[in-house]
Structure 1
C-alpha cells in the first residue's frame, strides 16, 4: 500500500487503469491526477461556456473515479493493514466484468454513466458498502443534523445504516465530470466533451480492480492501492 501520513478519510473507488488513455483524459479534464498525486495543467476543449477550472472545481479533488464506498473516517480501533486485508479478500471473490459507459446527466451535472443495468457492478458496490462498513467510524450527530433534508425515507435509512444515502438500491454508478450546471451550459459542455469521450467509450470498459484511496489534509484524494478482481472461472 502506498504510505501517506495524515489521511483524513478513506474510500473505495473504481479508477481507470494507470497510464491508459481513459485515465489521461480524466486527469487532464479535471486537473488532478489521483494516481500520481499531483495537479495537471490539462486543456480546454473548444466550445466551453465557462473556464474548465470553474466547470470542474467541485469534482476535481476526488480525481477521475466512480465511488463504490463513499469516503469514511477509519474507526479508532481499526488499522489500515486490516482494511487492506479485507479489501483483498473481497476483491478476490469477484471476476472482471464489462462496463459499457455513456456521457449523460445525473441531476444537474455531467458524468459517465452505465449504458445499461449491470448486475456484477451492483453486486460489487453492495459488497464494498456492507462488508467494509465495520471499518467506518460512526458519523457524528452534528454531521447528521447538517445533512440536507432532501433525502427519501429509504435514503435516510441508508444514511443512518451505512453513512451514505446512495447505496444498494439507491446506488448510481457515475464518473463525475462537472459541478452543477444550468441546462444551457450543460448542453454546451456535453457538446465540447463528446468528441473527446466518444472514442474512449466506443468499446465497453473492463473493470479489473477496485482501489483504496485516501484524502489528504488539503482535501485532495490519492490512489493508495489497487486490488485485482481475481476470482477464477467456476470449475
Structure 2
C-alpha cells in the first residue's frame, strides 16, 4: 500500500484563515512543498496505514470527540528555521497539547513500520533524542520537540526573498489573523501516491461530530 495517511490540525472552513491559507498556497511561487502538503499543522505525521481505513476513521472520530474544544491563541507570520510559517503567539493551552499527544500515541497502532532503507533516510541528520522519537512514534518532532506551525513557504536563506515573502504574507493574512481562532478541527488527510498532493478526506470537530 503506497498511500500515506496523516492527521492535521486545520482552521474551520468557515474561519477566514482557511480561505486565506488556501489562497496563499495557490499562488505557487516559493511554496511548492507547502502546497503539496496543504495548509495545516501536522499532528500525526504521514504514515502508511496498518489496518483498515474505516478503523482509522472511527478511532480518530472517537479521539476528537473525547477532547474538549479549547480556543487557540492568535497566530503570526514568522520564520521557523529556513521556512516561513504561521506560529502561535502564546503557549498552546494544555487541553490542545493533550489532544495532540493523544493523536500521536493512540493512533500509533495504525502506523506501518518503515523498512530499513526508509528508516535510514528519515533519521539522517537527526540527534539522538529525535532518532528515539522516530523509532518509537514515526516522527522526530514530537512532544517538547514539536512547534505547532502552518508552513507557508519553501526553505530559503536569501535575505531579500525572506523579507519580501514575509511582507507579502503579513499583508495577506492580516485580516484573517485578527479573527479569534477558536479550536479549529482535526483532518484526516491522504497522500494517494508518493509525491502526490495531500487531500482532506474528512474533517472532525474537536469535541463534536465530523
- Taking structure 2 as the reference length, what is the TM-score of the superposition? 0.91
Larger radius of gyration: 1
* CA contact 1:7–1:214 (8 Å) conserved in 2: no
1:1-235 equivalence runs, <5 A: 8-31=3-26, 42=27, 53-75=28-50, 78-99=51-72, 100-118=74-92, 119-182=94-157, 183-217=159-193, 219-230=196-207
CA distance in 2, matches of 1:121, 1:156: 25
Q: Deviations over 1:27-78 (max 9, x none)?
A: 11112xxxxxxxxxx4xxxxxxxxxx23111111111111100100001xx1
CA distance in 1, matches of 2:29, 2:207: 39
Matched residue of 1:212: which SS?
A: strand
Matched residue of 2:77: which SS?
A: strand
CA distance in 2, matches of 1:209, 1:219: 23
Matched residue of 1:172: which SS?
A: coil
CA distance in 1, matches of 2:75, 2:201: 25
> Unpaired segments of 5 or more residues in structure 1?
1-5, 32-41, 43-52
- The number of aligned residues is 204
Matched residue of 1:181: which SS?
A: coil
CA distance in 1, matches of 2:160, 2:123: 26
Question: What is the aligned-residue RMSD (CA, Å)?
Answer: 1.7
Query: 1:38 — aligned with what?
Result: none
- Please state how far the C-alpha of 1:222 moved relative to its aligned partner: 0.9
* CA contact 2:70–2:183 (8 Å) conserved in 1: yes
Moved over 6 A (4+): none
* CA contact 1:101–1:204 (8 Å) conserved in 2: no
Matched residue of 2:177: which SS?
A: coil
Matched residue of 1:69: which SS?
A: strand
Which structure has more helix as a fraction of its residues?
2
Matched residue of 2:56: which SS?
A: helix
- Taking structure 1 as the reference length, what is the TM-score of the superposition? 0.81
